[in-house]
């Protein structure tokens, strides 16, 4: 059985740290942070936990910046999303789930080119 490690991109780490800072005074941020932590544990057990995004829909930003050839979406409370990609680890017995973003619904729609109503 392969070991699954979860790493955060710089952008995802910034959002995570912001949520962590605000969680003590904001119920919404606390709820999102709790869900992120729960979903990370689920990804460690099953790296394909999230909904796969079609390769043709992977934003160019992720293709260029992270060389992402696969992308998974996990829904979070308050219409937030966690986006991650899977890569090979440093050894044959390791998988890296690299979290690219934690984004709200509006940013998600913008990133994927969806129009608001």
| Token pair belonging to 39 | 């979903």
d(CA 76, CA 95): 23
Q: Where are the domains of the chain?
A: 3-111
Tens of pLDDT along 17-61? Answer: 999 999 999 999 999 999 999 999 999 999 999 999 999 999 999
3-111 CATH choice from 3.30.70.420, 3.30.2310.20, 3.10.129.10, 3.40.50.12500: 3.30.2310.20
- Give yes or no for residue 3 having a pLDDT over 60: yes
Its pTM stands at 0.91
DSSP state of 100: E
- Give yes or no for residue 117 having a pLDDT over 60: no
Tens of pLDDT along 68-77? Answer: 999 999 999 9
């Amino acid at each position: 059985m392969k070991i699954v490690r979860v790493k955060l991109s710089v952008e995802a780490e910034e959002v995570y740290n912001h949520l962590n800072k605000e969680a003590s005074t904001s119920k919404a941020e606390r709820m999102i942070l709790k869900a992120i932590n729960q979903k990370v544990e689920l990804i460690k057990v099953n790296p394909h936990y999230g909904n796969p995004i079609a390769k043709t829909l992977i934003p160019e930003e992720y293709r260029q910046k992270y060389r992402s050839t696969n992308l998974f979406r996990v829904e979070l409370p308050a219409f937030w999303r966690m986006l991650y990609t899977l890569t090979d680890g440093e050894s044959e017995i390791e998988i890296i789930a690299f979290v690219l973003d934690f984004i709200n619904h509006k940013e998600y729609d913008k990133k994927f080119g969806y129009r608001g109503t």
